[in-house]
Amino acid sequence: MPTPVKFASHASEWLQDVSPPAHHCCCCCAMQFTGKHTFFGKTATMLQAADGIGHLAQMLLQIMIVLVAISAALCVAILIFLIAYGKEAFGVALQFVVVVLVASVPIAIEVVCTATLALGSRQLSAHGAIVTRLASIEEMAGMNMLCSDKTGTLTLNKMVIQDDCPIYTAGITRDDVLTAAALAAKWKEPPRDALDTLVLQNSGLDVSQLNVYEQLEFVPFDPTVKRTEATLKGPDGKVFKTTKGAPHIILQLVQVDAEDISKRVHWKVHELGTRGIRSLAVARTDDEGRWRMLGILTFLDPPRPDTKETIEQAMEYGVDVKMITGDHAVIAKETARALGLGVDIQEAGGLPSLDADGKIPKDLGKKYGAMIIAADGFAQVFPEHKYLIVEALRQEGFAVGMTGDGVNDAPALKRADVGIAVSG
How far does CA 278 lie from the centroid of its chain? 19
Using the Cα atoms of residue 402, residue 407, residue 408 and residue 412 in order, give the sign of their dihedral: positive
Q: Which listed residue (17, 51, 149, 260) is catalytic?
A: 149
Phi, then psi, of 341 in degrees rounded to 5:
-90, 165
What's the CA angle centered on 110, arms 109 and 112, to 5 degrees? 65
Q: What is the 3-state secondary structure (H, E, C) of the chain?
A: CCCCEEECCCCCCCCEECCCCCCCCCEECCCCCCHHHCHHHHHHHHHHCCCCCCHHHHHHHHHHHHHHHHHHHHHHHHHHHHHHCCCCCHHHHHHHHHHHHHHHCCCCHHHHHHHHHHHHHHHHHCCCCCCCCCHHHHHHHCCCEEEECCCCCCECCCCEECCCCCECCCCCCHHHHHHHHHHCCCCCCCCCCHHHHHHHHCCCCCHHHHHHCEEEEEECCCCCCCEEEEEEECCCCCEEEEEEECHHHHHCCCCCCHHHHHHHHHHHHHHHHHCCCEEEEEEEECCCCCEEEEEEEEEECCECCCHHHHHHHHHHCCCEEEEECCCCHHHHHHHHHHHCCCCCEEEHHHCCCCCCCCCCCCCHHHHHHHHHHHCCEEECCCHHHHHHHHHHHHHCCCCEEEEECCHHHHHHHHHCCEEEECCC
Contact yes or no for 359/391 (Cβ under 8 A): no
- Asked about 260 being catalytic, the answer comes back as no
Report how far residue 67's alpha carbon sits from residue 45's, in angstroms, rounded to the nearest whole number.
39
303/315 Cα distance (integer angstroms): 18
Question: Letter for the amino acid at 168?
Answer: Y
Catalytic residues: 149
